[in-house]
């Protein structure tokens, strides 16, 4: 049985499905729209039960998940959605003891997921160029007790990363293709690279930069769509709203910069090559016909 202790983070869920994240402190009170709850009434008591405010409004007392922590963050910019953050953690192969470099701390949403994945033995090195955003992330991480597992650095990553031989590097910046050399230097051989951008043209620019740089193989571009369902047995159906496009994710692996790495580019099927050749021949024939017509008109 999980019993709430002082300094624990707990989640209160109201009947209206509103969620509140609080840290338990002896003698404190939590005030909401439907009354107040004494922290002392929660400390030393099991989670997964219902408590009531002084006016009788019920709240569930639960252990918060990483999903809850990310969603409840204070933020001034768009955060990485939990559906993307969870996939990033898997694709970067993160677990306790791993070292990961992150660029674009923002409000710290992804940083929370990375830190909880590599703690207690691993570490996250997170770079941000905006002082006000770094300070917000610092407060968020400190509130969640994750600051010991994260080193925040205020720097333009064009200057490079301090870390080398990192297990993974993730770029959440406007033009990740501009910083491939820096990411390559920070990663260990065979290390995991990832990036997040919101638009197709940004992905195209990144892919072109990766081809020009070399040294990255197993390149994959993905988009995750999350469709929730209304959990009613008698009329199960999709919810009216869904979390559709949030960002495009690109993943790759670092390899040695040599001629051999160029052979690992994505293969194009022979049938596709034949279609491309036929299409090119058609374009050339049409061009010749147009030149012939122009010549007749000139005469």
Averaged pLDDT in 10-residue chunks for the chain of 299 residues:
91 94 95 94 96 96 94 85 96 98 96 98 98 96 96 97 98 97 98 97 96 94 95 95 92 85 59 66 68 43
Q: How far is CA 285 from CA 124, 175, 298, in A?
A: 57, 39, 20
Q: What is the pLDDT of residue 299?
A: 33
Q: What is the pLDDT of residue 297?
A: 42
Q: Which of 45, 43, 19, 47 has the alpha carbon at shortest distance from 33?
A: 19
Q: What is the pLDDT of residue 296?
A: 39
The beta strand positions in the chain, using DSSP E, are 9-14, 19-23, 29-32, 35-38, 49-52, 58-62, 99-103, 123-128, 150-154, 166-171, 187-197, 216-222, 229-230, 237-238, 248-254
Q: What is the pTM of this model?
A: 0.84
Q: What is the pLDDT of residue 290?
A: 54
Contact 61, 12 (CB under 8 A): yes
9-64 classified as CATH 3.10.330.20? yes
Query: How far is Cα 148 from Cα 151, in angstroms, rounded to an integer?
Result: 8
**CATH of the structural domain 68-264, one choice from 3.40.1030.10, 3.30.950.10, 3.40.50.150, 3.40.50.300:** 3.40.50.150
φ, ψ of residue 142 to 5 degrees: the values are -65, -40
Distance between alpha carbon 142 and the CA centroid of its chain, in Å?
A: 20
Residues 6+ apart with CB under 8 A from 99: 118, 122, 123, 125, 163, 165, 166, 167, 168
Residues 6+ apart with CB under 8 A from 29: 36, 37, 38, 39
DSSP H helices, 144-269, are: 180-186, 200-213
Please tell me whether residue 252 adopts helix, strand or coil conformation. strand
């Amino acid at each position: 049985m999980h019993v709430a202790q002082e300094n624990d983070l707990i989640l209160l869920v109201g009947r209206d499905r509103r969620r509140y994240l609080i840290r338990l402190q002896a003698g404190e009170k939590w005030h909401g729209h439907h009354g107040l709850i004494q922290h002392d009434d929660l400390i030393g008591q099991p989670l997964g039960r219902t408590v009531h405010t002084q006016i009788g409004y019920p709240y569930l007392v639960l252990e918060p998940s990483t999903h809850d922590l990310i969603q409840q963050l204070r933020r001034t910019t768009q955060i990485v959605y939990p559906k993307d953050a969870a996939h990033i953690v898997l694709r970067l192969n993160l677990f306790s003891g791993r070292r990961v470099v992150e660029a674009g701390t923002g409000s710290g949403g992804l940083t929370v997921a990375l830190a909880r994945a590599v703690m207690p033995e691993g570490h996250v090195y997170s770079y941000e160029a905006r002082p006000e955003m770094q300070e917000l992330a610092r407060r968020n991480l400190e509130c969640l007790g994750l600051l010991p597992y994260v080193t925040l650095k205020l720097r333009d990553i064009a200057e490079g990363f301090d870390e080398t031989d990192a297990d993974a590097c993730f770029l959440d910046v406007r033009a990740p293709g501009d910083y491939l050399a820096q990411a390559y230097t920070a990663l260990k051989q065979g290390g995991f690279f990832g990036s997040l951008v919101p638009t197709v043209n940004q992905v195209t620019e990144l892919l072109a930069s990766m081809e020009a740089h070399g040294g990255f193989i197993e390149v994959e571009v993905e988009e995750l769509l999350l469709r929730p369902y209304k959990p009613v047995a008698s009329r199960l159906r999709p919810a009216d709203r869904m979390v559709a496009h949030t960002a495009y994710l690109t993943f790759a692996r670092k390899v040695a910069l040599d001629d051999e790495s160029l052979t690992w580019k994505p293969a194009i099927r022979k049938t596709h090559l034949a279609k491309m050749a036929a299409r090119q021949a058609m374009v050339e024939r049409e061009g010749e016909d147009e030149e012939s017509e122009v010549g007749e008109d000139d005469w």
